[in-house]
Amino acid sequence: MKHTISLLVENSVGSLLRIAGMFSGRGFNIDSISVGASEEKGMSRMTIVTQGDDEIIEQINKQLHKCINVIKVFDLTQEAFVHRELALIKVKATQAERLEIMQIVEVFRAKIIDICPSGLTVETTGTEDKINAIISMLRPFGLKEVSRTGRIAVKRDFQGSVN
Amino acid sequence: MFVTTAPTAEKNRINKAERTAAPVLTGAEIFIESLVKEGVDTIFGYPGGALIGLYDYLYKNNQLRHLLVTHEQGGAHAADGYARATGKPGVVLVTSGPGATNTVTGIATAFMDSIPLLVFTGQVPSNMIGNDAFQEADILGITRPITKHSFLVRDVADLADTIHKAFHIAVTGRPGPVLVDLPKDMLAAKTTYFPSKNIDLPGYKPTVKGSFRQVRNAAGLLQSAKKPVIYVGGGAILSNAAKEVTEFARKLNAPVTTTLLGLGIFPETDDLSLGMLGMHGTWYANKAVDDCDLLIAIGARFDDRVTGNLKKFSPHSKKMQIDIDPSCIGKNVPVDLPIVGDIKTVLAELNTCVESCDSSEWLQEIAQWKIEHPLRYREIEGSLKPQQVIEALSKATKGNAIIASDVGQHQMWVAQWYQFTQPRSHLSSGGLGTMGFGVPAALGAQVGKPDRTVIGIVGDGGFQMTSMEIATAVRYNIPVKYVILNNGYLGMVRQWQQIFFDKRYSNTHLNPTNPDFKKLAESYGAFSLRVKNIEELHDAFDKMLAIDDRPVVLDVWVSPEENVFPMIPANGSFADILEGNE
């Protein structure tokens, strides 16, 4: 099963290497890993998406706790959480195709952030499914470059039922 | 108790005043000062370009005893042996590049067995890091998977705090090796020596005390057991919990089996002792684990050399496990009742509420197994059996020596035939299985325990991997003893080749090209004897144990094709146990 784990880690190159190395050394999967500054000075927040059965996920959580650079480990999968991924997609576009691409972009509520005679750069944010979908829609025009951030996630503060 | 803290402004004022009064020292001086403050008395090291400035301070300062080893790998193993024997962290100091990389096997050995080791490596100057400078190696990168933690010192002002953090991490929680990389300029730079009063590691808070509820639950589970087995590993020794383990076993009235690294935690002379379990454990220990209804793992991690086939391991029992490292719990075997905490602390608490369980029938059954399936070997007139050598040594030293073994057949015979009576007396590379560990580890143990008899028992293969450390022992008149069980083979591999590969002895025959070990030892300045029969053996032990001013090497020729039994083949279960026909 897919798990989203959010970590608060010391902000150092060593932290990322130690965590990534622990995953590869112990044969755990990483679907995506994304890291950036957090609200606390000197601390980064890292979101890791991984897969495994319950025993493996338990080991992953325990091994993450053991890393001395890791301050906190939250396996968000047990709780309600929101997650997003950002992608920048450079797609080929002839003058004739531009309009069609812009329509697709609009349907996905994405944005065109750069344009040149031979193509467009699209920015899109959403779940992985949505990003996969827009990429599939744009692929026929010719993808020049795709850059994705991997998932970032936070827990929902309101955990109750909305109804 | 109330703890009143001064208002921040007040604290800052005091800090500022103290800081102004603090001395200005070089990094090298701070290094020495910090080690002394940590209670270090001995370091094992080897100088080089990146450390030459630091070695100048070591020359001028006599607060630290520096032992010049012969190879950095030996230095790491010696510090490891020192740590295992004394319970204090071992300290290694080596130069950059090859000096650092030579310690890798030693660090990995300590990591696998959770031994507190401080490895200080020289590094090229900060501004040259990454330039492929002379004797540069990314030792932090190389050792990341085999250290508990590591640091690169980037600012001399952080040096003292970094060293104290490194010691704290190495010795607390589940211990392990910590590496500190010291760029050459950091040792030369000067700063105000003003270490922090507290160690600040927000991501590191090991659990020491067991959960109250779990301890109560455990007491209930223990009382209901009819056929309990206590299975103790190296974690109990690291926690210095021999007294608590013994009290626990006696109170519960349950038999005790130990792993290779747990040997010595419980006296093997006791009726409740089952000796070692696992691949080369006793028949009755393995049978008891196979039959028990409650298996109590204490500081043990269900290693594959203990469990064999996980699906068939101790199939009828509930499992209880006490360990300081949560990741050890449920990693290989599901556990019904885990307690995370320091073993000494948890057992002390458990001992206040545990009562004897109804184990009398079970103990009678086990006593019968001990009679029917004892450890055994067949003596042969005119030839020395390796088991016979260890048994004789156990008697000659009354089970009170510190024994460091290497890796292979002799290691198992030590575990089976030396009757350990005290903890921290059996030093062996259990997890990594490092050949070449025995010679330097015994040396380090003797340095740390000058009043004990320390004997390294090694094979003729492993001896040659690190035999040059005899030069170190001679250099400092360290009276460490070595017994080479010389069978002319890489015996354990040969045994597998005999049993599983139809006697195709591929690359395991060392004779007749082995050197003359007696001459080799003598050329270093050690005392040495060759032993070929039981009379010579007794005489040699007498002479060896009387020498206290230099190392001793006994080259003991034992029967070449002796095998270690019992044996449960890899990934097998108790049903597959081979008792041998000897």
Cis amide leading into B47 (omega within 30):
no
For an interface test with A, the pick among B144, B162, B321, B325 (most A C-beta atoms closer than 10 Å) comes out as B144
Q: Which two tokens stand for residue A142?
A: 């010719």
Residues of chain A with CATH 3.30.70.1150: 83-154
Whether B104 and B80 have beta carbons less than 8 Å apart is answered as no
Residues of B in contact with A17 (CB under 8 A): 141, 144
**What value does the mean pLDDT of chain A take?**
94
What's the rounded mean pLDDT across residues B381-394? Answer: 95
What separation in angstroms does the CA of A91 have from each of A85, A102, B109, B557? 19, 11, 53, 77
Does position B4 have pLDDT exceeding 70, yes or no? no
Per-residue pLDDT of A86-112, as tens digits, reads 999 999 999 999 999 999 999 999 999
Residue B304 clears pLDDT 90, i.e. is over it: yes
- For A110-148, what is each residue's pLDDT tens digit? 999 999 999 999 999 999 999 999 999 999 999 999 999
Confidence of residue B12 (pLDDT cuts 50, 70, 90): low
Q: Which of A9, A22, A58 sits opposite B330 (nearest CB)?
A: A58
B435 given a catalytic annotation? no
pLDDT range class, residue B382, cuts 50, 70, 90: confident
- pLDDT score of B149 more than 50: yes
Which of B114, B139, B149 to probe the A interface (max A CBs under 10 A)? B149
How large is the average pLDDT for residues B341-356?
A: 95
ipTM (interface pTM): 0.90
Distance CA(A139)–CA(A149), nearest Å, equals 19
B145 touches chain A (CB under 8 A): yes
Residue bearing the bigger pLDDT, A59 or B381: A59
B327 touches chain A (CB under 8 A): yes
Q: Could you say which of B145, B148, B331 has the minimum Cβ distance to residue A59?
A: B331
Tokens of B448: 């740390």
Average pLDDT over residues B370-388: 94
B429 alpha-carbon distance from chain centroid: 6
Mind listing the pLDDT tens digit for each residue in B104-121?
999 999 999 999 999 999
Q: Both tokens of residue B51?
A: 């450390």
* Nearest-angstrom CA–CA distance, B433 and B407: 6
CA dist., res. A134 & res. B163, Å (int): 52
For the segment A40-68, the average pLDDT, to the nearest whole number, is 95
Mutant choice from A22, A26, A66 vs B, greatest count of B C-beta within 10 A: A66
Q: How confident is the model at residue B14 (pLDDT cuts 50, 70, 90)?
A: low
Examine the residue annotation and report whether B492 is marked as an active-site residue of this protein.
yes
User: What's the distance, CA B486 to chain centroid?
Assistant: 24
Q: Is residue A162 over pLDDT 60?
A: no
Whether A14 and chain B come into contact, CB under 8 Å, resolves to yes
Q: Has residue B2 got a pLDDT over 50?
A: no
Check if A9 contacts B (Cβ < 8 Å): yes
Q: How far apart are CA A5 and CA A28, in angstroms?
A: 13
Summarize the confidence of residues B205-210 as an average pLDDT.
93
> Between chains, do B203 and A71 touch, taking CB under 8 Å as contact?
yes
B301: left (phi over 0), alpha (psi -120 to 50) or beta: alpha
Of the candidates B143, B141, B137, the one whose C-alpha atom is nearest the C-alpha of residue B122 is B137
Closest CB to A66 among B145, B201, B327: B327
For A2-79, CATH number out of 3.40.640.10, 3.30.70.260, 3.10.180.10, 3.40.220.10 equals: 3.30.70.260
Compare all CA atoms of chain B with the CA of A22 and give the residue at the minimum distance: B145
Any chain B CB within 8 A of the CB of A125? Answer: no
Which one of the listed residues B29, B33, B38, B72 is annotated catalytic?
A: B72
What residues in A contact B330, CB-CB < 8 Å? 55, 58
Q: Is B140 on the interface with A (CB under 8 A)?
A: yes
Contact criterion met (CB < 8 Å) for B326 and A65: yes
* Mean of pLDDT values over B138-159: 96
Instruction: Write out the two tokens for B553.
Output: 């090497």
Residues 6+ apart with CB under 8 A from B425: B85, B263, B264, B400, B401, B402, B403
Non-local CB neighbours of A106 within 8 Å, separated by 6+ positions = none
CATH number assigned to the domain covering A83-154: 3.30.70.1150
> Does residue A161 surpass a pLDDT of 90?
no
Contacting residues for A80 by C-beta, under 8 A, at least 6 apart: A155, A156, A158, A159
> Catalytic site residue B184?
yes
pLDDT at position B11 is 62
Instruction: Of B401, B384, B361, B350, give the one whose Cα is nearest residue B247.
Output: B350
Q: Which run of H or of E encompasses A138?
A: helix A128-138
Q: Which residues of B touch A70 (CB under 8 A)?
A: 203
Residue B309's pLDDT is: 96
DSSP string, B4-44: ----HHHHHHHHHHHHHHSPEEEHHHHHHHHHHHTT--EEE
User: In the 8-state DSSP scheme, what is residue A119?
Assistant: E
Which chain A residue is nearest to residue B332, measuring alpha carbons?
A: A55
A25 touches chain B (CB under 8 A): yes
Q: Residue A10 forms beta bridges with which residues?
A: A43
Over range B549-573, report the average pLDDT.
96
Which residues on chain A are in Cβ contact (under 8 Å) with B179? none
State mean pLDDT over B324-352: 96
- B147 close to B179: Cβ distance less than 8 angstroms: yes
Q: Where are the alpha helices (DSSP H) in B352-404?
A: 360-372, 386-396
- Tell me the pLDDT band of B135, cut-offs 50, 70 and 90: very high
Give pLDDT, residue B18.
80
Every domain range in chain A assigned CATH 3.30.70.260: 2-79
